[in-house]
Amino acid sequence: MTWESVPFVDAFADVTAKSPRIKQRDFAMAGRFPVRDQGDQDVAGYWDDESAVTRVDRPLLLFGDHTRRVKFASNDFVIGADGVKVLSVSPRLDPRYAFQWMRSLDIPNAGYSRHFKFLREYRVPVPPLHEQRRIAAILDEADALRATAHRAATRFDVLEDASFERLLGGSIGSGIQLGDITEEFRYGTSQRAGATGLPVLRIPNVTGFAINSADLKTVEIPVAESTRLRLHPRDVLFVRSNGNPDIVGRASAFSTLKPTPGDSTPWVFASYLIRARLKQGIEPRAIAALARSPIARRHLRSGAATSAGQYNISIPTLRSLPVFDPTDHAQSRFMEALRVIDQARDHAIGRAQSFNSLIASLQHRAFRGEL
């Protein structure tokens, strides 16, 4: 079926200039109005002052100029930080249809450059409104099923933390500190990422659970520096600096990264991370789980310094972090529990990923008039 199409600029109006914005350091944990930014969370925080609120009469779309994320805004909100484009939708388009169409686009990844310029090159298919609503309803339902599958996968994170608390949490505070079981702490490279070089892990890659290599950058550094910063299976990476205090101190074990078979390329890490190389016999994933525990969070929060709206932890703060008794056999029992959890999690993730493929197929057909 052939539909009329219109240029992007005829389908959407950039109304960003009408929306005040607030800085990330000012986000509150609770409040009257949600803060929307270009990050991966739908709501980044909250705000109370009405003077910064963007009022929503008809749903708006939010586009992350750096991240390419698309969000739907049906209620009043506040824009957090820079990089968010606020778009009003033409009356000829159903807002949910417009949202689903924009999410279907394969926008080129220009790194941390601006991406809105790419949107202007697209034409928007404009079927009759009743057909738009039908397409949006189908894709919304598929999204809901995918979200359910992803939530099922994240429940295993809760189970992992519960296993840590049950098996190792009781021995935290026995007088042993992270510095006692660590061979070396080291800051990462301050070289800027580029188009070539070694893969470099950054804050977005350190999730608090497994390393996420989806948004991977590369960096050119001298051989001597790459030797010092090369990551090892016994390494744990900690986020040392961020505007969000809940992110500072977040940790992931490098061993959770699944490299391509046969690929021996060294991996390094960026300057906003601290590497702890553990002594033999210490399980990196147990230390990453420790970093998520209430005791560790309190220690790291109290040891964080603030400067220009950034929270920072230092190597001395990490070195003094209370840890569990490493001589306890509970470490091996925790790893046995993780093997079972990982197997179930992988199954759930596989199911969630199957929905990704299904939705990509539905999107392809929907906006070609074949659904």
- Average pLDDT value for residue range 146-174: 91
| pLDDT one-digit tens code per residue, 223-279 | 999 999 999 999 999 999 988 888 999 999 999 997 766 677 899 999 999 999 999
> What is the predicted pLDDT for the residue at 262?
66
> What is the predicted pLDDT for the residue at 201?
95
Contact 279, 192 (CB under 8 A): no
> What is the predicted pLDDT for the residue at 12?
97
* pLDDT greater at residue 1 or residue 222: 222
**CA atoms 224, 227, 230, 234: torsion sign:** negative
Query: Residue 25 pLDDT > 80, yes or no?
Result: no
- Average pLDDT value for residue range 168-195: 92
Q: Is 92 exposed, middle or buried (0-12, 13-18, 19+ CB in 10 A)?
A: middle
Contact 295, 263 (CB under 8 A): no
- Average pLDDT value for residue range 35-53: 88
Query: Residue 22 pLDDT > 90, yes or no?
Result: no
Domain 182-324: CATH superfamily is DNA methylase specificity domains (3.90.220.20)
| pLDDT one-digit tens code per residue, 98-128 | 999 999 999 888 766 788 899 999 999 999 9
Q: Please state, in angstroms and rounded to a whole number, the distance separating the CA atoms of residues 22 and 79.
A: 6
Contact 106, 367 (CB under 8 A): no
Nearest Cα residue to 199 out of 230, 225, 173, 171: 230
- Average pLDDT value for residue range 200-208: 92
Instruction: List Cβ<8 Å contacts ≥24 apart for 109-117.
Output: 109/68, 111/193, 111/217, 112/66, 113/66, 114/65, 114/66, 115/63, 115/64, 115/65, 115/66, 115/68, 116/14, 116/63, 116/65, 116/85
Query: Residue 216 pLDDT > 80, yes or no?
Result: yes
Nearest Cα residue to 167 out of 331, 359, 3: 331
* pLDDT greater at residue 45 or residue 137: 137
- Average pLDDT value for residue range 329-336: 94
> What is the predicted pLDDT for the residue at 112?
65
- Average pLDDT value for residue range 133-153: 92
Q: Please state, in angstroms and rounded to a whole number, the distance separating the CA atoms of residues 89 and 12.
A: 5
312 CB neighbour count, 10 Å cutoff: 16
- Average pLDDT value for residue range 307-312: 85
252 CB neighbour count, 10 Å cutoff: 26
* pLDDT greater at residue 369 or residue 247: 247
Confidence of residue 285 (pLDDT cuts 50, 70, 90): very high
> What is the predicted pLDDT for the residue at 323?
96
> What is the predicted pLDDT for the residue at 283?
96
Query: Residue 176 pLDDT > 90, yes or no?
Result: yes
The angle subtended at Cα 270 by Cα 265 and Cα 276, nearest 5°, is 85
Query: Residue 158 pLDDT > 70, yes or no?
Result: yes
* pLDDT greater at residue 276 or residue 39: 276
Contact 181, 278 (CB under 8 A): yes
- 334: its two tokens: 């925790």
DSSP-assigned letter for residue 186: E
> What is the predicted pLDDT for the residue at 33?
93
Averaged confidence pLDDT in the chain? 91
Residue entry with tokens 């070089």: 197
For 4-125, the fitting CATH number among 3.30.1360.170, 3.30.70.260, 3.90.220.20, 3.40.920.10 is 3.90.220.20
Contact 60, 326 (CB under 8 A): no
Nearest Cα residue to 287 out of 213, 202, 176, 200: 176
Residue 87, CA distances (Å) to 59, 116, 223 in order: 9, 11, 46
Residue entry with tokens 């179930």: 344
Q: Where are the domains of the chain?
A: 4-125, 127-168+328-371, 182-324
> What is the predicted pLDDT for the residue at 261?
65
* Second CATH level (architecture) for the domain 127-168+328-371: Orthogonal Bundle (1.10)
- 117: its two tokens: 């310029």
| pLDDT one-digit tens code per residue, 62-102 | 999 888 999 999 999 999 877 899 999 999 999 999 999 99
Confidence of residue 353 (pLDDT cuts 50, 70, 90): confident
Confidence of residue 356 (pLDDT cuts 50, 70, 90): confident
- Average pLDDT value for residue range 149-157: 89
For residue 360, give every residue at least 6 positions away whose Cβ sits within 8 Å of its Cβ, in sequence order, or none. none
